[in-house]
Amino acid sequence: MSKGAKIIISGGGTGGHIYPAVAIANELKAKSPDTEILFVGAEGKMEMEKVPKAGYKIIGLPIAGINRSNMLANIGLPFKLIRSLWKTYTVIKNFKPDVAIGVGGYASGPTLIMANFLKVPTLIQEQNSFAGVTNKNLAKKARKICVAYPGMEKFFPAEKIVMTGNPVRKDILETASKREQALKHFGLSDDRKVLLIIGGSQGARTINESILAGLNDLISNDLQIIWQTGKLFIDQARSAVEALQTQRVFVADFIYEMDLAYAAADLVVSRAGALSVSELCLTAKPSILVPFPAAAEDHQTQNALSLVNVNAAWLVKDAEAREKLVDKAIELAENPKIMNELSQNIKTLAKPNAGQEIAAEVLRLI
């Protein structure tokens, strides 16, 4: 890589876009510390907080998505898009990047459109098994498209596709030796199985309500629990845990030490976002996936089925979670043979070098 290369990484909106973006940035910096990286996100979205915490500069665009529940709220969208394109034009002209990377999310659209217009090579990182409309359009002019699932030729030109997997934080790759430290961190013991419940970075209402209703059953079936609720549900969850007067439930709105959470866990209940699925593959955890039904193009169900179809995870539909999820978690916890089968099968899908491979593709474009 030439000294002082400049790279823009755009996208965000959820942890599933932000954390892979940061992982790619970290790999690029590891390969060449002189690399200058600038993030472009959407104003008011979580990347504006998370990216600076990771040590990178970010510029926000006034872009927003379509509000399907209140169509009148979309009147200003064309103006936001025009302002975002103009701002991106100015950013690219001033920063002069060698490559622009899009990881999905509102900001990646205008950024890569303008990068292509200004003849800057572009690369797309598609995390999901079902590509969104924006990435399908951007793919026409992208030089490379890094994907995490087979069969993506139905969305993208086959000659541009590189199968890399999804990049995750390095600490997620190193959980095997941390179990004792992890149990101590969460205040749990080593004589009972640990169920990890994660609904994505913002929590998942259906999962939270299902766990809340069955909390007593989980505890009476000898399980310990690490429960990430998201901000909107944390007060309810804490009240329920306090009422039970148990030391066997750790509850938090957000868990920063996800490496320790995975290290402590024997089994996992999770949404089926691309990042969560990749982390489950890498940590080889037997899992019950509850896809978010309102995800674009129902891509979480497609992500989940890619595991379920090879006996690498169980699936509980969102609409059935309140009646089935807790019973399924108890059933899985009480069946070590099935837990081991799921663990062995999901491990074969892991792509531990995804970040390095994507970084290598970026460097080839410079």
16 annotated to a ligand binding site: yes
129 annotated to a ligand binding site: no
300 annotated to a ligand binding site: yes
Phi, psi angle pair for 217, to nearest 5°: -65, -40
275 annotated to a ligand binding site: yes
Instruction: Give strand ranges (E) for the chain.
Output: 6-10, 36-42, 57-61, 99-102, 122-126, 144-147, 161-163, 194-198, 224-228, 249-252, 267-270, 287-289, 314-315
10 annotated to a ligand binding site: no
Q: Is the dihedral of CA 336, 338, 341, 344 positive or negative?
A: negative
277 annotated to a ligand binding site: yes
Report the distance separating Cα 276 and Cα 288, nearest Å.
12
Tokens in use for 81?
């898009």
Q: Is the dihedral of CA 274, 329, 238, 212 positive or negative?
A: positive
Q: Closest by alpha carbon to 102, among 20, 5, 222?
A: 20
245 annotated to a ligand binding site: no
276 annotated to a ligand binding site: yes
287 annotated to a ligand binding site: no
Q: Amino acid letter at 313?
A: A
Report the distance separating Cα 195 and Cα 191, nearest Å.
13
30 annotated to a ligand binding site: no
Annotated binding site for UDP-N-acetyl-alpha-D-glucosamine: 14-16, 128, 169, 201, 255, 274-279, 300
Annotated binding site: 14-16, 128, 169, 201, 255, 274-279, 300
